[in-house]
Structure 1
Amino acid sequence: MCSSRSSTAPYLRLSTTHLACLSAPLSPTPRRRWPRILAAVLLPLLVLGGIGLYGAWRVLWRPNVAESAEGPAYLFIRTGDTYQNVLLTLQKFELLREPATFDWLARRRGYPQRLRPGRYRLDFDLGNEALLGRLMRGEQDTVDFALDAFKYKPQLARQLQRQLEADSTSLRVLLNRPEWLQQRYGVDTTAVLTLFIPGHYRLLWNTSAQGFIDSMAAQHRRFWTEVRRKRADSLQLTPTEVHVLASIVQRETAKKEDKPLIAGVYLNRLRRGMKLQADPTLLWAIGNFGVRRVLNKDKLVDSPYNTYKHKGLPPGPITSANRQSLDAVLKPAAHDYLFFCAQAGGSGYSDFAATFAEHKQNARRYQRWLDSLNIKR
């Protein structure tokens, strides 16, 4: 053991013993080992955590809808479809980048037991979590339903089946149930066609046939405002009669300017108790709208739609009248005309007359033009 006792000399004297003590190696200082231990434990945990977070992001939030240059895709789920059908549709049309991750999450969320039919928009930024939420909540995208003018119930039924899930048979059955129509809408099997006003509507793709009629009836009620009802009353017409007359006007011309004039002609004839003698009603009766010229033999057909035989309006519309035609009847032009016929030259406009003699001159002019076309052919 080294000793360092001081001498009595005024200066420090180092003995060989002191030198030995100074030259001896110092005992090692204990190193701090906890950073290594911490790193050895945490690093694997961080790696595993990172892998887990990446996996969760990939399954839950990573955009999984396949992009397309044609825009967002749509998934149609029919009433009664199974989850397997939905999965096959997603795979067949390659709507998802990774169908397997969607399937994995869907099964764990119980989606196969909570399937909801409809038309769903698949935006490109949707991950599985957001997509499943949309499907399970039934957040459908509506359809722009274009209702075109139609003359017969089967034509309406075909429009329905072409654009919505509902089948045409269901609609045709409902349109021919008189008691049900009267109780629910206050119309018969003929007047029910007045509920359908041509135009564009936003509907759910899986709207049922009854839901479709309900929607059209609601639009019909919105059209018939208090102002329009008062106008109909002033003409001594019911809303249904306005629809019937508007359907005739619509078949007579496509020219917006002529519609109020033609409506005025028919209203003048109704007030005087004259037969309408409307060719479109006769064509409806014989079931041929392709006839360009009505013949005398056609006027003999036995039908309540033959306005050459029967006074007043026919029992129902001959086509679905649009808003323009309806408003033309509700706001007719004021004049004394009782006759009109198509103008020569094929402009689509009409010549109007207050007397039969004037009308015959206009009709001859039009007939000569038609004959000239036949000669040229």
Structure 2
Amino acid sequence: MPTTQAAHSSRRLLWYLLLLAVLVTGAAAYATWRVLWQPNVAVSPYGAPYLYIRTGTGYAAVLDSLRRHELLRDLDTFEWLAEQRGYPRRVRPGRYLLDPSLGNDALLDMLLQGKQDTLAFTLDAFKYKPQLARQISKQVEADSAELRKLLNDNTFLTRRYQLDTTTVLTMFLPGSYRLFWNTSARDFLDSAAATHRRFWTPERRHRADSLQLSPTEVHVLASIVQRETAKKEDKPVIAGVYLNRLRRGMRLQADPTLLWAIGNFGVKRVLNKDKLVDSPYNTYKHKGLPPGPITSANRQSLDAVLKPAAHRYVFFCARPDGSGFSDFAETFAEHKQNARRYQHRLDSLGIKR
């Protein structure tokens, strides 16, 4: 009997030990799952959040951002695993999408490998370099001051892009871009240059050659066409007018170049005193194209210059109906009549400037 009781006690103890082992193993497995694979990104009603890591910042800044913006459910488990995987010494800058399904292990994989997503943004047309610098620095990490510095560095621009501080604005095509958020000022310029090269296909270069214009000159003329009209139908016709003037040795007499020279694109009525401004952009005084673009020309305006309408017009004037279209003329007498009708409309609206 005592032997039987001892046997029962031994079996009971064994079962207890086995149960304890199972519990310990289960607890260890749960702890491992919790640290490595349990989803740890905080759920937001606004969608998956982003973690921004600026260039030059370290691990402390990453933790601070995670803490301040409450991006993780459990920061302690992330910190522990980050230390084990050596992340504090291998921080990579960027803009990282934190999917709610990510556990610490997958999150650290993404951060250690620098797997950030690209940022889509639209480059709007601009007239002056500071406008470009502000627009870019609002969307990517590139420093506005550094970008302005590079845009005004003649040696850098000539060596890297074969452009100068005046013609560099021809390099930028308004439209959609995809970049990494931590793109530097120099990398942004390289990206814009690459987009510019892709635009200038052999066919477009051939068309420019047939017009006896360089790509830079096409950009300059397209910038004037773009400021003259927003109407797709009128762009090739206006481009044809200016090309006819260039062929005949006439001055362009383009009002938008005057507005660029005086620094006021809000003027509705160009006055004779405006035509006296001392500037190489004053196409009433100087023959040929101005030295640089007066805005960043879009693809539609560029293609209008490359595929101009064939006609004999050398004059045009805005229609008095306010439609945004223009009236065209072959002779100065016709043009004077069109201009008079437009001036009467401005008078009727009380527009003096």
Q: Shared topology, TM-score over 0.5?
A: yes
Deviation at 1:185, TM superposition (A): 0.8
Q: Distance in 2 between matches of 1:35 and 1:278?
A: 103
Structure 2 counterpart of 1:318: 294
The letter for the 2-side match of 1:106 is A
Q: Deviation per CA, 1:288-342: give whole Å up to 9, x if none.
A: 1111111001101111100000110000000000111101100111111111111
Q: Distance in 2 between matches of 1:257 and 1:89?
A: 51
Deviation at 1:38, TM superposition (A): 3.9
Aligned residue for 1:374, secondary structure, equals: coil
Could you state the TM-score of these two structures normalised by the residue count of structure 2?
A: 0.95
Q: Distance in 2 between matches of 1:257 and 1:334?
A: 13
Structure 1 counterpart of 2:59: 83
Cα distance change, pair 52–29 in 1 and its aligned pair in 2 (3 A): closer
Q: Superposition pairs for residues 166-181 of structure 1, below 5 Å? A: 166-181=142-157
Deviation at 1:32, TM superposition (A): 7.8
The letter for the 1-side match of 2:280 is P
Q: Distance in 2 between matches of 1:91 and 1:258?
A: 56
Matched, 1:360 2:336: yes
Q: 312, 319, 327: which is aligned to 1:343?
A: 319
Q: Distance in 1 between matches of 2:12 and 2:245?
A: 105
Matched, 1:228 2:207: no
Q: Distance in 2 between matches of 1:139 and 1:30?
A: 62
Cα distance change, pair 257–33 in 1 and its aligned pair in 2 (3 A): same
Deviation at 1:30, TM superposition (A): 10
Q: Distance in 2 between matches of 1:28 and 1:272?
A: 122
Cα distance change, pair 291–61 in 1 and its aligned pair in 2 (3 A): same
195-204 or 75-84, which deviates more? 75-84
Structure 2 counterpart of 1:46: 22
Matched, 1:295 2:271: yes
Deviation at 1:82, TM superposition (A): 2.2
Matched, 1:109 2:109: no
Matched, 1:201 2:177: yes
Aligned residue for 2:308, secondary structure, equals: coil
Structure 2 counterpart of 1:98: 74
Q: Distance in 2 between matches of 1:136 and 1:66?
A: 20
The letter for the 2-side match of 1:320 is S
Q: Superposition pairs for residues 1-377 of structure 1, below 5 Å? A: 36-374=12-350
The letter for the 1-side match of 2:180 is L
Aligned residue for 2:323, secondary structure, equals: coil
Aligned residue for 1:324, secondary structure, equals: helix
Deviation at 1:41, TM superposition (A): 2.3
Aligned residue for 2:40, secondary structure, equals: coil
Cα distance change, pair 37–369 in 1 and its aligned pair in 2 (3 A): same
Aligned residue for 2:231, secondary structure, equals: coil
The letter for the 1-side match of 2:120 is D
Q: Distance in 2 between matches of 1:117 and 1:28?
A: 70
Q: Deviation per CA, 1:29-88: give whole Å up to 9, x if none.
A: 997887545423211111001111111111110111111121110010011212122111
Q: Distance in 2 between matches of 1:69 and 1:246?
A: 46
Q: Distance in 2 between matches of 1:338 and 1:34?
A: 111
Deviation at 1:28, TM superposition (A): 8.2
Aligned residue for 2:350, secondary structure, equals: helix
Percent of aligned pairs sharing the same letter: 71
Deviation at 1:103, TM superposition (A): 1.1
Q: Deviation per CA, 1:267-297: give whole Å up to 9, x if none.
A: 1111111100000001111111111111001
The letter for the 2-side match of 1:309 is K
Structure 2, unaligned stretches of length 5 or more?
A: none
Q: Distance in 2 between matches of 1:151 and 1:160?
A: 14
The letter for the 1-side match of 2:204 is R
Deviation at 1:127, TM superposition (A): 0.6
Deviation at 1:354, TM superposition (A): 1.1
Cα distance change, pair 51–277 in 1 and its aligned pair in 2 (3 A): same
The letter for the 2-side match of 1:183 is R
The letter for the 2-side match of 1:44 is L
277-286 or 27-36, which deviates more? 27-36
Cα distance change, pair 224–295 in 1 and its aligned pair in 2 (3 A): same
Q: Distance in 1 between matches of 2:69 and 2:40?
A: 14
The letter for the 1-side match of 2:55 is T
Could you state the TM-score of these two structures normalised by the residue count of structure 1?
A: 0.90
The letter for the 1-side match of 2:232 is K
The letter for the 2-side match of 1:253 is T
Q: Distance in 2 between matches of 1:317 and 1:99?
A: 52
